[in-house]
Amino acid sequence: MSFLFRYAALGTFLVAAGFAGHADANVVINGTRVIYPSEDKEVTVKLSNDSAQPMLVQVWLDNGDEKSAPEKIKTPFTLTPPISRIEPGKGQAVRVLYTQDPLPSDKETLFWFNMLEVPPKPADAEGRNLLQFAFRTRIKFIFRPKGLAGNAADAYQQLSWKLVSNQDNKGLALQVSNPTPYYVNFAHVGIMQGDKRELEQGGMVAPGATTVFQLTKLQGQPSADAKATFDVINDFGAVAEHDQALSR
């Protein structure tokens, strides 16, 4: 399981060291996130090779530490096949099965689905100095227990937002609290004053947790009618714009 991952680590080092070149990932995951309902026996993640050459692909889940080697990670899921060869223009279905090891039943649990692709060695590589790139894609994998209160699509409506001092006590930050059992993901967050949206980079807020977003674009105190504005990403990867009054 670790061979391809180590190959990718080498490729990442070479890129960071300044061996510049243009390259693009060739294998695509169908979707921006994976939702695993607890009542399902398995879920399928579909991969497709959009390139003109075969690709060797490795898949695994991690618990949040993206630097962990696959063979050292323990999650309550089995992925089949863990390594596969995908021919040009073809696809591969990866089956993910829950092993029934205990997970919280009162809230969602977040894992990460990893896909590593390695191109084949060129036929004319003999005697040549070549640099090949391995690409890694990492998306959210959310385990959703049956019977949670409410529903994921409406969880954003229960969030509460307020302005707080930022980390260096200079300026303001935006804090969001999530009382629901669902993860809420944002493409952007920010402040709306009048009809002007001042957006920052997004992120997520975990069930029962709070997250603070720095407001680097906000100059001075916001107006009295200022609102929190945020773009929510749903289970299918669609983005919708929402606004909400700030808590005082």
pLDDT in tens, 181-227: 999 999 999 999 998 999 999 999 999 999 999 999 888 889 989 99
**Portions of the chain given CATH number 2.60.40.10:** 3-144, 152-245
Dihedral, CA of residue 233, residue 39, residue 150 and residue 228, to nearest 10: -20
Q: Which residue has the tokens 């060695």?
A: 121
Query: Per-residue pLDDT tens for 33-89?
Result: 999 999 999 999 999 999 999 999 999 999 999 988 898 999 999 999 999 999 999
CATH domain 152-245 topology: Immunoglobulin-like (2.60.40)
| CATH number, domain 3-144 | 2.60.40.10
pTM of the prediction? 0.86
Predicted pLDDT at 201? 94
Token digits for 40? 């399902």
Q: Please state, rounded to an integer, the average pLDDT across all residues of the chain.
A: 88
Token digits for 246? 């700030």
Measured distance CA(79)–CA(229) in Å, rounded = 38
